[in-house]
């Protein structure tokens, strides 16, 4: 099969936003009551909603409410981010908020897979390195961070840190084949030939 139309994701650059805490689950990222939508459009405004607002919709202290981090595209998190239910709405909400890459200590496997389907790299490094980067972002909210997926490296303020990118994720992003739906559409003829060869699939038309 030939490559699909997805753009390769080899390098992501932008300002950072730190969200601290281990085991931040998908219900915190996007509460279930906001999942009753026909499409994912508009989900971004509800990202971390219950952490950002109280019961009277008054703002609470949270990085996503902090004016310093508005427009940031690189999210920096701690351990087991995206755990809990497998809802794809979580990375959809983050993407629609404006997040293009996530650096963290570790990620729930299904969450990382759902991020990959959107072309959002999830790269990992150790606890101390993450906390140092989060602190630096707090002090330098307007400074740029570079996430090099191909080289497995994050650079900021003259500092380079090695990160780990799951090999299958790295290949999919760098080769531009992370969008499996687009890949199948671009190879519709081959997909149909394979389907026609399977005795348990009946095609119409």
Question: pLDDT digits over 99-132, tens only?
Answer: 999 999 999 999 999 999 999 999 999 999 999 9
- Picking from 50, 65, 153, 142, the residue whose alpha carbon sits closest to that of residue 101 is 153
pLDDT of residue 42: 87
Could you confirm whether domain 11-176 is CATH 1.10.8.640? Answer: no
Provide the 3-class DSSP secondary structure of residue 161.
strand
pLDDT confidence of residue 199: 61
pLDDT 10s digits, 138-160: 999 999 999 999 999 999 999 99
Domain boundaries along the sequence of the chain: 11-176
Answer yes or no: is pLDDT of 169 > 60.
yes
- Can you give the pLDDT at residue 170? 96
Question: Which residues make Cβ contacts (< 8 Å) with residue 153, sequence separation at least 6?
Answer: 160, 161, 162, 163
pLDDT for the residue numbered 197 = 57
Which of 34-38, 87-91, 146-150, 165-169 is least confident? Answer: 34-38
Instruction: Report pTM.
Output: 0.85
* Backbone torsions φ then ψ of 43, nearest 5 degrees: -65, -25
């Amino acid at each position: 099969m030939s490559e699909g139309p997805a753009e390769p994701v080899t390098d992501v650059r932008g300002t950072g936003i730190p969200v601290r805490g281990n085991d931040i689950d998908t219900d915190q990222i996007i509460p279930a009551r906001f999942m009753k939508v026909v499409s994912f459009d508009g989900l971004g405004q509800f990202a971390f909603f219950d952490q950002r607002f109280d019961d009277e919709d008054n703002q609470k202290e949270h990085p996503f409410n902090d004016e310093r981090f508005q427009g940031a595209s690189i999210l920096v998190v701690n351990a087991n981010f995206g755990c809990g239910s497998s809802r794809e709405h979580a990375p959809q909400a983050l993407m629609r908020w404006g997040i293009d890459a996530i650096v963290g200590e570790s990620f729930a496997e299904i969450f990382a897979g759902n991020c990959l389907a959107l072309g959002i790299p999830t790269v990992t490094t150790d606890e101390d390195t993450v906390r140092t980067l989060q602190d630096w972002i707090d002090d330098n909210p307007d400074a740029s961070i570079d996430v090099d997926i191909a080289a497995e490296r994050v650079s900021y303020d003259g500092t380079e840190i090695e990160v780990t990118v799951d090999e299958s994720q790295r290949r999919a992003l760098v080769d531009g084949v992370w969008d499996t739906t687009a890949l199948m559409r671009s190879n519709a003829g081959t997909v149909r030939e394979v389907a026609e060869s399977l005795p348990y699939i009946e095609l119409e038309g």
